[in-house]
């Protein structure tokens, strides 16, 4: 991940403090997966200036949760937010929520003429679990149309443009720049309004007519599919909701 630092050209900035990370093991600190370093510690140090040529670190003290919250706030991030009932998990870098099964339009832009004929038609969609990050959107399906529990096993979302891990090829889709509980509707809308162009994995569902047959039937149905129908036609994943949250 490429990170950039943008500072206002009209403001004056002065080095004020520093954070030191101590890892008990010999491995390097993994900032993308800090949970792999459970025995690490962080101290905060003031920057001191005196007769020395360069500023230096003052005595350190442990970084508290309040200090972390103040740091996040100073960096422009939210420290508290309203959690809609569909939200399953939220952190500094990700928001995970579920969407009940529903009927909505679908769009295709591939070489399959039968699927392209469904463009703009209302079809039934399974219950879904979304994972939103910075310029990242993952989608998984649920066989049961209810708020999932930690032990709920996920299913493969039967859509093109998704990797085996459920990661969406963003392409020209307009998704929010950052994850937030206030942005979940925009993320879901961007997914459903995107045109599905290609498949990244060989098998997306267990429907006897394959991926094409699944969506043709979902467009032709007058009533919502039953739970048994979804369980019969969705492919079960090995991942549970809890594993998705803690990975």
| Side-chain half-sphere exposure of 222, counting CA atoms within 13 A | 0
pLDDT tens-digit series, residues 83-139: 899 999 998 789 999 999 999 999 999 999 999 999 999 999 999 999 999 889 999
Has residue 1 got a pLDDT over 50?
A: no
| 184 closest CA partner among 81, 109, 67, 75 | 81
- Round the average pLDDT of the chain to a whole number and report it: 88
pLDDT tens-digit series, residues 142-156: 999 999 999 999 999
Q: Which tokens hold the place of 118? A: 């469904």
- Alpha carbon of 130 to those of 94, 237, 238: distances in Å? 10, 15, 17
| 188 closest CA partner among 179, 198, 172, 175 | 175
The predicted model gives 66-75 an average pLDDT of 77
Residue 209, pLDDT score: 97
Residue 30, pLDDT score: 55
The pTM of this model reads 0.75
Q: Where are the domains of the chain?
A: 17-74, 87-246
Q: Bigger pLDDT: 34 or 147?
A: 147
């Amino acid at each position: 991940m490429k990170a950039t630092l943008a500072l206002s050209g009209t403001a004056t900035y002065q080095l004020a403090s520093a954070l030191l990370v101590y890892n008990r093991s010999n491995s390097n600190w993994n900032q993308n997966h800090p949970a792999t370093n459970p025995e690490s510690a962080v101290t905060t140090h003031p920057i001191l200036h005196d007769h020395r040529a360069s500023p230096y670190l003052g005595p350190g003290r442990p970084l508290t949760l309040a200090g972390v919250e103040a740091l996040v706030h100073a960096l422009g991030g939210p420290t508290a937010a309203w959690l809609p009932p569909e939200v399953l998990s939220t952190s500094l870098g990700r928001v995970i929520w579920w969407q009940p099964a529903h009927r909505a339009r679908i769009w295709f832009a591939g070489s399959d003429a039968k699927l392209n004929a469904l463009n703009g038609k209302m079809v039934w969609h399974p219950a879904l679990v979304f994972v939103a990050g910075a310029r990242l959107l993952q989608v998984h399906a649920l066989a049961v149309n209810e708020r999932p529990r930690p032990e709920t096993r996920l299913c493969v979302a039967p859509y093109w443009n998704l990797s085996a891990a459920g990661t969406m090829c963003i392409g020209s889709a307009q998704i929010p720049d950052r994850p937030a509980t206030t942005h979940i509707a925009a993320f879901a809308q961007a997914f459903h309004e995107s045109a599905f162009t290609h498949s990244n994995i060989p098998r997306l569902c267990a429907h006897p007519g394959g991926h094409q047959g699944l969506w043709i039937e979902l467009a032709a149905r007058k009533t919502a599919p039953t739970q048994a129908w979804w369980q019969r036609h969705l492919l079960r994943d090995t991942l549970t909701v809890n594993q998705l949250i803690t990975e």
